[in-house]
Amino acid sequence: MAHPVPAAKDAVKALLEARAEYAAVDVRDGQPTELESVTRDMFWFVETDIPEDAWAGIGAQKRRLTFRLGFTLAVIRDDETERNTEDVIWGYLEALMLALKGDYTLGGVVQQIEDVSGRQSNDPLTSQWQSRFDGQITCQSKAY
């Protein structure tokens, strides 16, 4: 079996791309590297943590992972208030949570999603505000 992380990332992307709330969001595998690639509404994956990769808990017959898919949601707004820009992030986060709640196995790719955690922040840019949520989706793989 292939490693479950790439398939889980693809499944999360597909869930988000299927949601009307994410129609204007650039859903990517990684952050933009060129200034011209930056859009006003973005989602991308960052580091993946694997706090557990174990055999013993299931009789040393199969392997099971706990992994955390790191992600960033970011929006930029011109001449709006900090709070208005931040509110956009909360809307996108809520849509993400509803998508994950609606398919907590990511289409059968993982055993289950355990939780979503993260940190929200705002930053002033030149006549703009950026709001972002840096988070992690904790998944339990199927035994393989």
What is the tens place of the pLDDT at every residue in 85-113? Answer: 999 999 999 999 999 999 999 999 999 99
Q: 94-119 burial by CB neighbour count: b if 16+ within 10 A, else e?
A: ebbeebbeebeebeebbbebeebebe
CA distance 81 to 119: 20
CATH code assigned at 11: 3.30.2000.30
Place of tokens 């705002």: 122
Spatial CB neighbours of 37, under 8 Å, sequence gap ≥ 6: none
Position 55 confidence tier, pLDDT thresholds 50, 70, 90: confident
Contacts of residue 41, defined as CB under 8 A and 6 or more positions apart, other chains included, come to: 24, 25, 26, 74, 75, 88, 92
Q: Which residue has the tokens 């398919």?
A: 103
Count: domains in the chain: 1
Going by pLDDT thresholds of 50, 70 and 90, the confidence category of residue 59 is low
CA distance 9 to 15: 10
Q: Is the pLDDT assigned to residue 56 strictly greater than 70?
A: no
* Look-up of token digits 């931040």: 86
Residue 18 pLDDT more than 80?
yes
pLDDT of residue 57: 61
Q: Which domain holds residue 40?
A: 4-141
Average pLDDT over residues 29-39: 81
How far apart, in whole angstroms, are the C-alpha atoms of residue 141 and residue 67? 8
Within a 10 A sphere around the Cβ of 15, how many other Cβ atoms? 20
